[in-house]
Amino acid sequence: MKICAATGNPGKLKELRRILEAQGHQVLSQKELGLDLDPEETGTTFAENAAIKAAAFAAASGLPTVADDSGLCVEALDGAPGVYSARYCGHHGDDEANNDKLLEAMRDVPAGKRGAKFVSAVCFRMPDGRTLTCMGECPGQVAFDRQPGDYGFGYDPLFIPDERGTADGGKRPNTEGDSYAQLTPDEKDAISHRGRALEALEARLEAFLQEK
């Protein structure tokens, strides 16, 4: 199936394309479709924002569309930055400033109290308006400082997932304490919030498409 990826974020586009193509779909970016959209995310939940983006891109592209809205929810910060993850620092899309603000907010939070989870809402929307939304979560901890690697974007250098993927497609405890950014794409996709949401979408998509 040809699918429009409803994002202008290069890191997110790379993950959506990688996971959806592994499921057998052809993924087209807004650049490839000649679109230039940045719909205002006025929702108060991940699911609401994903639906807003999916609706705008499906209408513009005329294609089945996948939109993801996701963020980091930190226990010690009462769930912040949450739906405001991309603009936590006060403006949109500045990964370094967002990470700096998170580190400052967590400066006095001790080990054992730094629990967090990444949450993803994936909305699949058909041009006729039918929608299917799936959620995914990945629990972990906020690191005391950046742990950069060869992969990842956003808060990935600060997030230590509880699990990591294995070569056989399974999962195991992340005993090394590597960050999202230090995991290979396969290791991350197997346990990530976005990977889990898209896995749930794959499981439900055929039945959804057959519905009238």
Residue 92 has a pLDDT of 86
* Closest CA relative to residue 82, chosen from 72, 90, 93: 72
Q: What is the mean pLDDT of residues 132-156?
A: 96
| Structure-token match 């990826």, residue found | 5
Instruction: For residue range 2-26, list pLDDT tens digits in order.
Output: 999 999 899 999 999 999 999 999 9
Residue 93 has a pLDDT of 83
Q: What is the mean pLDDT of residues 76-81?
A: 98
Instruction: For residue range 24-47, list pLDDT tens digits in order.
Output: 999 999 999 999 999 999 999 999
Q: Cα 65 to the chain's mean position, in Å?
A: 15
Residue 169 has a pLDDT of 85
Residue 200 belongs to what domain range? Answer: 2-210
Confidence of residue 130 (pLDDT cuts 50, 70, 90): very high
| Structure-token match 């939940």, residue found | 45
CATH of residue 180: 3.90.950.10
Give how many domains the chain has, as a whole number.
1
The catalytic residue among 36, 38, 69, 108 is: 69
Residue 212 has a pLDDT of 67
DSSP state of 156: G
Confirm whether 95 is a catalytic residue: no
